[in-house]
Amino acid sequence: MFPIKGEGALLLAIVFGFVFGWLLQRGKVTNYNVIVNQFRLKDFTVLKVMFPAIIVGGIGVLALTNMELAKWHVRDANMLGTIIGAAIFGIGMVLYGYCPGTGIAAIGTGSIHALVGAAGMIFGAILYAFSFEWVRANILSVGKLGKVTLPQIMHIPAWTLYGALIVIAIALFVWVEKRGR
């Protein structure tokens, strides 16, 4: 029965996207101030959304793969490309005030500057496509670790890592909530 492919999946794409956009808007991560203030450590909304998403999502997906209802979709760790790319991304996210997903959602909430930034995203993608061959040869080729996970390289069971993440998240959010951030 699953996974669904073809036209059924296309219809579901709109439904799942709709739910995702709805959740982002309700979480207020479609708001420039909320995103920028996370990086200024004044408002921890972004981490309050991301940590539960990672922990709840991860534990569920681990259980589902154990039951053979889902497969892993771990991507290659090209370390140099990931590090340089993430560094550029962090600069861009603060200047834009959104990440790509929340930017698209923010347009739906009426943010004109998110729309302008989306045009910038198209421009950035064009630049990437035209520099792709050089990037692939000189950056993506450095530090290729393959489809590795933290449990594999740390030799710690996944359940233990999820447990540690829960402890870290609770400690962080207790601290954050006490300070009203």
Binding residues among 88-107 for another protein as defined by CB under 8 A: 88-107
One-letter amino acid of 80: L
Residues 47-66 that bind another protein (CB under 8 A): 48-58, 60-61, 64
Q: Are 29 and 20 in contact, with CB atoms under 8 Å apart?
A: no
Q: What residues are paired with 144 via a beta bridge?
A: 78
Q: How far is CA 41 from CA 20, 88, 99, in A?
A: 25, 20, 17
Residue 172 in contact with another protein, rule: CB under 8 A:
no
Residue 170 in contact with another protein, rule: CB under 8 A:
no
Least separation in angstroms between CB 60 and another protein? 4
Out of 66, 116, 142, 171, the only residue in the binding site for another protein (CB under 8 A) is 116
Residue 164 in contact with another protein, rule: CB under 8 A:
no
Out of 15, 155, 167, 178, the only residue in the binding site for another protein (CB under 8 A) is 15
Contacts of residues 128-135 at CB distance under 8 Å and 24 or more positions apart, as own/partner, are 135/81
